[in-house]
């Protein structure tokens, strides 16, 4: 299983996206690996897909969910509150709520690989100092 940010979800579903080729190649390399995202990233992806490709693009995301290729992390109340600690810790970087939910998901699930096109994930560390493996 690999954590997945909103950006790659949009990129693989909209062919004209600047990161489409890079992200579809990455998906091919871990084709048998399932992806996990968070509600915040899912909402962001649906929003961006709606703007960039309408219902058809959003339908592609629904297909990933229905097929079980994409699952959604369900945080505890405590996990949801810990996102604030990451947002404060990385206030000098663009660590928004969606990014912070992925960091909490990494902590809680033990997953250390993340599929993202956001370069700032290279700088993020979990609270114990662990770095994530950023793909692609």
* Domain span including residue 113: 2-135
How many CB atoms are closer than 10 A to CB 95? 22
What's the CATH code of the domain at 28?
3.40.50.1010
Please say if the pLDDT value at position 93 is more than 90.
Answer: no
Please say if the pLDDT value at position 70 is more than 90.
Answer: yes
The H helix count followed by the E strand count for the chain is 5, 5
- Please, what is the Cα angle at 104 between 31 and 136, to 5 degrees? 35
Rg of the chain over all Cα atoms, to the nearest angstrom: 14
Give me the residues paired with residue 49 across strands: none
The H or E element containing residue 23 is helix 20-29
Cα distance between residue 25 and residue 119, in whole Å = 18
Please say if the pLDDT value at position 39 is more than 90.
Answer: yes
Number of domains comprising the chain? 1
Please say if the pLDDT value at position 83 is more than 90.
Answer: yes
């Amino acid at each position: 299983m690999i954590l997945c940010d909103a950006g790659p979800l949009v990129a693989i579903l909209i062919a004209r996206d600047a990161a489409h080729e890079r992200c579809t190649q990455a998906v091919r390399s871990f084709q048998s690996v399932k992806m996990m995202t968070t509600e915040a990233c899912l909402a962001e992806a649906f929003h961006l897909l709606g703007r960039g490709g309408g219902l058809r693009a959003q339908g592609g995301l629904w297909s990933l969910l229905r097929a079980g290729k994409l699952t959604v992390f369900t945080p505890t109340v405590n996990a949801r509150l810990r996102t604030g600690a990451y947002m404060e810790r990385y206030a000098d970087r663009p660590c928004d709520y969606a990014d912070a939910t992925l960091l909490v998901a990494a902590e809680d699930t033990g997953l250390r690989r993340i599929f993202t096109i956001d370069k700032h994930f290279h700088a993020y560390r979990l609270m114990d100092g662990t770095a994530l493996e950023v793909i692609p």
